[in-house]
Amino acid sequence: MEPTNIELYDLVLKDAPFIIAGYGVLWAALVVYISLVLRRILRLEREVKAVEDSVARRTGDAVS
């Protein structure tokens, strides 16, 4: 290979893994964290609905 190209490719390739890892880690961490929080919210919403329905049923029974 052309020595000039070897020098240039060497410069790029030495840094590339760190740049890729930098962006990868950042994106993966954000996506995983936000997904976990959103999943927790969906589960909580289901739980809240179930408990509030039970409260409403009990209140309804007490009234009737």
Partner 1 sequence: MRQLKVALVLLIVGGLMTTAAFFMAFYTAEVQSFGTVTLSQQLDTAYPLTEAGAGGFTYGRPWFSQKIFYFHVPVALASFLVLIIAAYFAVRMLLTKRKEFDTKSRIAMETTLVYVMLTMLTGVLWTRASWGVWWDWEPRLTTYFILTLMVIAYFVLRNSIEDEERRAVYGAVFAIIAAINAPISFFITRIIPSNHPVVFKSGFATSNLIPFLTAMFGMLMLGFAIYVIRMSEERLRERLDAAKTALEG
Q: Where does this chain bind partner 1 (CB under 8 A)? A: 2-4, 7-8, 11-12, 14-16, 18-19, 21-23, 25-26, 29-30, 33-34, 37-38, 40-41, 44-45, 47-48, 51-52, 54-55, 58
CB atoms within 10 A of CB 56: 10
- We find the least distance from the C-beta atom of residue 36 to partner 1, in angstroms, to be 10
- We find the least distance from the C-beta atom of residue 14 to partner 1, in angstroms, to be 8
Residue 21 CA, distance from chain mean position: 17
Looking up tokens 């409260």 gives 55
